[in-house]
């Protein structure tokens, strides 16, 4: 037997730019290859705000947002072997099946198993969502294959990482997206080496995780950039060698950084990271890279219709633009290892949590994020 539908609280996004409605939903039992999870803790990432803001070309409404969380398996559907009831798990918006052409390529952490369905807000088995709004009977779409702004959610088995039960769920939820992404952008995507120079644009959770990883790797120069001076102190404390505000200069920030790093008449950093989602800053991040070898890693998610541009000469002369999703980590394989590393104190996690609240306070979390007043708000479901 696969259990019964569960009635619980969830935050429904009925339409873009409207506050979420915390209301009762019915969560269907997991079908073949699916897992139903009781969400214990879920954080708010800027990507949830981006989709709620109507900027995501894949955004579907009504939906249940949320993708940075941790919980406990409540029940599993037929054929599920990698987790069982009671296991502690981290939902992974980046699935990992280990069998598809992308998983076996050795070239990417992207997985093709369930992505088409998660993009359409439904489950693979029957092309339908597992959420129903109790009062209206309306079906509610899933988001990123995770929908963690709910006391219970249903995921594809490919999207569930089984983690150490000793780890605190209210902290390791951050490994479901933000912290993992920043660390991986530095260590997997850019593979920054000791002594390298770097610039990080945007000092929210993702940018700070880049700073933290750069300091651990032993980067010789870490130039941290944010227009909000309130974000500067933490970056400095965590190892940034220089913290700058583009508003303090009357020339483009790429020129400022190139001058700051000038050696023998040529300036620029070995690596740069854009953790904002602003296409103008993405250009600056490329153009502050060193001629001949500088690599710019795009992490930020830009709004529908936005495009990046630069003079092709920037690329002809050896600068490289690349991107990263989930920091290049293969979710179901790597997230359990990251949890162990967290337990071993290898990187910061707890320090990003500026607020802890209840799921019913979710709209306050969005307000804090928009006002730049938080890093991560963790909601205990
Ligand atoms: P955040 O809102 O906490 O941080 C963004 C920071 O950028 C803020 O400190 C803000 O002051 C700063 N900023 C804004 N405009 C700026 C400008 N013009 N110049 C300099 N600084 C500026 O967001 P976050 O949760 O850290 O997410 C950052 C970005 O990363 C978002 O676009 C998010 O969607 C994206 N993201 C991508 C991935 C991925 O896998 N690629 C994963 C997680 C998040
Ligand atoms: N759906 C959007 C793009 C959103 C996007 O780029 N998402 C990032 C993760 S952000 C996490 O906070 C990502 O890794 N995407 C890879 C994927 O497969 O979704 C659009 O533009 O359509
Ligand atoms: Zn995220």
CA 283 to CA 184: how far, in whole Å? Answer: 22
Do 205 and 136 fall within a single domain?
Answer: no
| Residue 60 neighbours by CB distance under 10 Å | 17
Q: Which domain holds residue 243?
A: 182-324
- Domain-embedded: residue 42: yes
**In a shared domain, residues 277 and 358:** no
Residue in 8, 63, 111, 289 annotated catalytic: 111
Domain annotation covers residue 105: yes
- From the list 23, 24, 100, 227, the catalytic residue is 100
Cis preceding-peptide flag for 62 (omega within 30 of 0): yes
Residue 333 maps to a domain: no
Q: Which helix (H) or strand (E) holds 367?
A: helix 362-370
- Cα–Cα distance measured from residue 288 to residue 295, given in angstroms and rounded to the nearest whole number: 10
CA–CA separation, 127 and 309 (whole Å): 38
**Residues 221 and 240 placed together within one structural domain of the fold:** yes
What does the pLDDT read at residue 123? 98
CATH number at residue 80: 3.90.180.10
DSSP 304: T
Asked casually if ipTM beats, i.e. exceeds, 0.90, the reply is yes
Let me know whether 149 and 239 are in one domain. no
The verdict on 172 and 186 lying in the same domain is no
Query: Residue 3: its pLDDT value, please?
Result: 87
Please report whether residue 47 resides in a domain.
Answer: yes
Is 17 part of the annotated catalytic residue set? no
How much is the CA Rg of the chain, to the nearest whole Å?
A: 21
**Distance from the CA of 309 to the center of ligand 2, in angstroms?**
20
Please classify residue 288 by burial: count the beta carbons closer than 10 Å to its beta carbon, then call 0-12 exposed, 13-18 middle and 19+ buried.
Answer: buried
Whether 336 is covered by a domain: the verdict is no
Q: Is the pTM of this model over 0.80?
A: yes
Same domain as 140, residue 42: yes
Mutate to test the pocket of ligand 1, among 42, 46, 223 (most ligand atoms within 8 A of CB): 46
How many domains in the chain?
2
203 shares a domain with 171:
no
Residue 274 maps to which CATH number? 3.40.50.720
Residues 137 and 49 in one domain: yes
Is 335 a member of any domain? no
Residue 175: CB partners within 8 Å, gap ≥ 6? 70, 90, 335, 338, 339, 342, 349
Residue 278 corresponds to which tokens in the numbers above?
A: 């602003």
What does the pLDDT look like over 33-56, one tens digit per residue? 999 999 999 999 999 999 999 999
Query: Does residue 132 share a domain with residue 14?
Result: yes
* Dihedral pair phi/psi, residue 149, rounded to 5°: -80, 55
Which pLDDT belongs to residue 145?
Answer: 98
pLDDT classification of 2: cutoffs 50, 70, 90: low
Residues of the chain with pLDDT > 90, as a percent, come to: 99
Q: Per the domain annotation, does 342 fall within a domain? A: no
Residues contacting 56, CB < 8 A, separation 6+? 50, 301, 304
């Amino acid at each position: 037997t696969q259990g019964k539908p569960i009635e619980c609280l969830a935050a429904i996004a009925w339409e873009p730019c409207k506050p979420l409605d915390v209301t009762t939903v019915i969560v269907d039992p997991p079908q073949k290859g699916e897992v139903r999870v009781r969400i214990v803790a879920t954080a708010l990432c800027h990507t949830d705000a981006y989709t709620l803001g109507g900027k995501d070309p894949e955004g579907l409404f009504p939906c249940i947002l949320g993708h940075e969380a941790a919980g406990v398996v409540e029940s599993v559907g037929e054929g599920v072997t990698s987790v069982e009831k009671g296991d502690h798990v981290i939902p992974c918006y980046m699935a990992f099946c280990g069998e598809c052409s992308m998983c076996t390529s050795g070239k990417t952490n992207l997985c093709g198993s369930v992505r088409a369905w998660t993009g359409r807000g439904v489950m693979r088995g029957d092309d339908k969502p597992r959420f129903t709004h109790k009062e209206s009977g309306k079906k509610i779409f899933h988001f990123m294959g995770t929908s963690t702004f709910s006391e219970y959610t249903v995921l594809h088995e490919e999207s569930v990482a089984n983690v150490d039960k000793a780890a605190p769920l209210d902290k390791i939820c951050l490994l479901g997206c933000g912290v993992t992404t920043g660390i991986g952008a530095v260590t997997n995507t850019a593979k920054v080496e000791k002594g390298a120079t770097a610039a990080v644009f945007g000092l929210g959770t993702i940018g700070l995780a880049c700073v933290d990883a750069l300091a651990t790797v032993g980067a010789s120069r870490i130039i941290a950039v944010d227009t909000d001076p309130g974000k500067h102190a933490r970056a400095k404390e965590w190892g940034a060698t220089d913290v700058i505000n583009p508003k303090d200069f009357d020339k483009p920030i790429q020129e400022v950084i190139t001058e700051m790093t000038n050696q023998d008449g040529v300036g620029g950093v070995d690596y740069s990271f854009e953790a904002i989602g602003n296409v103008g800053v993405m250009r600056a991040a490329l153009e502050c890279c060193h001629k001949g070898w500088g690599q710019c890693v795009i992490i930020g998610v830009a709004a529908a219709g936005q495009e990046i541009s630069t003079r092709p000469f920037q690329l002809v002369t050896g600068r490289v633009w690349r991107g990263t999703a989930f920091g290049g980590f293969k979710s179901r394989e790597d997230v359990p290892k990251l949890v162990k590393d967290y337990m071993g104190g290898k990187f910061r996690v707890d320090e990003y949590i500026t607020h802890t609240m209840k799921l019913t306070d979710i709209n306050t979390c969005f307000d804090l994020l928009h006002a730049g007043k938080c890093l991560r708000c963790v909601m205990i479901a």
